[in-house]
Amino acid sequence: MRIRHLLLAIAITAIWGVNFSVIKLGLTTVDPLMLAGIRFTLCALPAIIFIPRPDVQWRYIIGYGLFFGIGLWGVVNLGIKSGLSAGIASLVLQSSAFFTILLGSWIFKEAISRFQYAGMGLALCGLLSIISIVDGTVTMAGLSLVLLGAVAWSAANVIIKKARTTQVFAFLVWSSAFSPIPLFALDYAINGSTGYSSLLDQLDYRAVLSILFQVYPNTLLGYWVWNSLLKRYPVSTVAPLSLLVPVFGLLGSVMIFNENLSANKIAAVALIVSGLGIGLFGQRVYSALLKRTGRCPS
């Protein structure tokens, strides 16, 4: 990978990691579901006017919009609002990789390797160590909600795979159009008209900057750049860089909210990131080593 492309990829992982703290800033004045609804409204409009609909079935576009917009980011916003720190949320959400593996095994009959089982075991140990954190940055409600968001993300990944679209940016824009109305409706069902009546009065510069950051650098630019790199380079070259997301997520929370990095948090990061690395790339590395030594993988 060229240096400028490597730096660009690292910049995107930094944006994705810091985004969790940016979300928390927006949640100081905007309801969680409403914040997600505004985000996806701006992801869809006005871009949907100028970008043709991707050549995939409507059920995939609608399904992705519901799982990605509501199941993932609506629920993650609720998790952060429920007391889970931005840094821990960015870390826990990476467990979606293993939920995707499990769903892939069930839906596509894909075999699960011993490295993936080992990676899931390490990541589970990391999640258990998070439960033991007692400094006020972890709540069971917040942890459960973000884990639910991770499951929704894995379902969104399966939808992308079944859709087999090559028009990823158009797919993202059009699917975003199906997130806002359910998000706004859910917010009204939970909070009544309070969030709407107070939105303009409570909306401050932090919320505006939070929304703009989530829409443009994080969602539209981030996914466009990342998928462009995936088209240019092998997945095995680009994908490992996503392991930097929780690192930047924790660093962002430390810088913006002065989150304390306790020994338990450092251990959780080490276990989950190591588990992700082994689960996602262990078999590939093992096979490459055997090939170099002239042995056949068993």
175 falls within a domain: yes
Cβ pair 95, 272 in contact under 8 A: yes
Cβ–Cβ < 8 Å for 208, 101: no
HSE-up of residue 36 (Cα within 13 Å, Cβ side): 31
In a domain, 212, yes or no: yes
Task: Name the percent of the chain lying above pLDDT 90.
Answer: 44
Among candidates 8, 17, 22, 21, which has minimal Cα distance to 215? 22
Amino acid of residue 280: L
**31: phi then psi, degrees, rounded to nearest 5:** -60, 145
In a domain, residue 87? The reply is yes
**Any domain includes 17:** yes
> Tokens representing 88?
């821990």
Residue 298 belongs to a domain? no
What's the pLDDT tens digit per position in 85-111? 999 999 889 888 778 778 878 887 777
Instruction: Give the span between the Cα atoms of 25 and 13, in whole angstroms.
Output: 19
Report the pLDDT value the prediction gives residue 133, as an integer from 0 to 100. Answer: 81
For the chain, the domain total comes to: 1
pLDDT of residue 242: 77
- The pLDDT value recorded for residue 6 is 85
Residue 296: per-residue pLDDT: 56
CA distance 236 to 270: 21
Q: Which parts of the chain have pLDDT scores under 70?
A: 234-240, 280, 294-298
- Which domain does 108 fall in, by range? 3-293
pLDDT at 285: 76
User: Could you read off the pLDDT of 73-87 as tens digits, one per residue?
Assistant: 999 999 999 999 999
pLDDT of residue 128: 82
In a domain, 35, yes or no: yes
